[in-house]
């Protein structure tokens, strides 16, 4: 019997060691995942090109509204939450008389004029990053997303925008660590 008890004791110790190692891996895995998901924040992360349908709509006088969402990510052991911190909106419209594209941020009075729609969309991307850099704190983990607000399109276009892939203008959530 002592031999069987000795074997059980070794198995019991082995199970405890495996359990301890498993718990150690589980508790450190969110940090490892967060490090693996860290990205350097640049314009290439938020660069988007308007689809031909969206370009045609803007050229025909439709206003496109882009939503910028900034969230702080907080990890609690195995659970990660995002708290919406800031919300900005960019309005892209074409002025027919001057044949220029206008970008307005939120309710600010200063519009920015561009010759091409490509320049206007690049400005939206660059300005989104500068807004984040001005509001980020040291050592925080952030998520940011830039997307077309399909609900603000004119009624007849809205259904097509929800059905067609050409209206999916969304950068997706980009996660990174602030390095201020």
63-67, 68-72, 104-108, 138-142, range with the lowest pLDDT: 138-142
Please provide the average confidence, as pLDDT, over all residues in the chain. 74
Q: What SS3 class is residue 58?
A: helix
pLDDT, tens digit, 9 for 90 and up, residues 42-84: 455 566 788 899 999 999 999 999 999 888 877 677 766 667 6
Task: Say how far apart CA 44 and CA 107 lie, in whole Å.
Answer: 26
User: Is 45 in contact with 174 (CB distance < 8 Å)?
Assistant: yes
Residue 60, φ and ψ in degrees, nearest 5: -95, 10
**Joined tokens for residue 56:** 């045609």
pLDDT confidence of 171, banded at 50, 70, 90?
A: confident
User: What is the percent of the chain with per-residue pLDDT over 90, rounded to a whole number?
Assistant: 30
Token pair 């969206």: residue: 54
Q: Which of 144, 146, 148, 147 is nearest to 174 (CA)?
A: 144
Q: Where are the domains of the chain?
A: 1-37, 43-177
Answer with the residue of higher pLDDT: 114 or 178. Answer: 114
Is residue 140 over pLDDT 80?
no
């Amino acid at each position: 019997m002592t031999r069987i008890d000795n074997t059980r004791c070794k198995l019991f110790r082995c199970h405890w060691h495996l359990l301890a190692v498993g718990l150690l891996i589980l508790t450190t895995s969110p940090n490892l995942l967060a490090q693996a998901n860290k990205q350097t924040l640049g314009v290439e992360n938020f660069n988007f090109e308007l689809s031909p349908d969206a370009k045609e709509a803007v050229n025909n006088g439709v206003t496109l509204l882009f939503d910028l969402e900034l969230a702080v990510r907080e990890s609690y052991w195995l659970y990660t939450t995002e708290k919406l911190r800031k919300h900005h909106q960019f309005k892209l419209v074409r002025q027919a008389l001057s044949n220029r594209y206008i970008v307005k941020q939120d309710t600010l009075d200063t519009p920015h004029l561009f010759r091409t729609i490509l320049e206007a969309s690049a400005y939206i991307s660059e300005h989104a990053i500068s807004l984040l850099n001005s509001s980020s704190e040291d050592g925080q983990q952030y998520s940011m997303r830039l997307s077309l607000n399909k609900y603000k399109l004119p009624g007849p276009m809205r259904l097509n925008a929800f059905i067609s892939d050409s209206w999916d203008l969304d950068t997706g959530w980009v996660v990174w660590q602030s390095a201020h």
